């Protein structure tokens, strides 16, 4: 029977039910990592520093969410003259303080 727009969904997994195959695979991978952790750690330490950093970055992708890049554009033409003067004065003050501390 073909799908007709407006009719309710019938059959299939209910929403929120995990895929059994994916769950089984994740469990097996976790078991493998648990059993081979000491060997993986030794292999990781044996890598050259550059390879170790690259591997670490790749592993982080599986544990840490990626952040979206954000662009900030600062249009000076939309500021009033007093605001621009204030920004430049603050920048000069910061530069002078930096010069004095070094």
The closest of 18, 16, 40, 39 to 27, measured between CA atoms, is 18
Is residue 30 assigned to a domain?
A: yes
Cα separation of 22 and 49, whole Å?
Answer: 34
Is residue 92 assigned to a domain?
A: no
- Model-level pTM? 0.41
User: How do residues 56-88 score in pLDDT, each as one tens digit?
Assistant: 888 888 878 777 877 767 677 778 888 888 888
Is residue 14 assigned to a domain?
A: no
Is residue 4 assigned to a domain?
A: no
CB atoms within 10 A of CB 79: 13
Measured in residues, the chain has a length of: 102
CB atoms within 10 A of CB 87: 13
Is residue 55 assigned to a domain?
A: yes
Cα separation of 12 and 43, whole Å?
Answer: 44
User: How do residues 20-40 score in pLDDT, each as one tens digit?
Assistant: 777 788 888 889 889 999 999
Is residue 80 assigned to a domain?
A: no
Q: How many domains is the chain partitioned into structurally? A: 1
Is residue 94 assigned to a domain?
A: no
């Amino acid at each position: 029977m073909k799908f007709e727009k407006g009719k309710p969904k019938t059959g299939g997994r209910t929403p929120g039910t995990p895929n059994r195959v994916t769950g089984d695979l994740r469990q097996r991978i976790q078991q493998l990592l648990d059993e081979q952790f000491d060997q993986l750690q030794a292999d990781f330490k044996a890598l050259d520093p550059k390879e170790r950093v690259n591997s670490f970055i790749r592993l982080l992708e599986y544990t840490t969410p990626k952040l979206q890049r954000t662009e900030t554009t600062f249009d000076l033409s939309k500021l009033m003259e007093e605001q621009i003067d204030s920004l430049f004065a603050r920048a000069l003050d910061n530069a002078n303080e930096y010069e004095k501390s070094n």
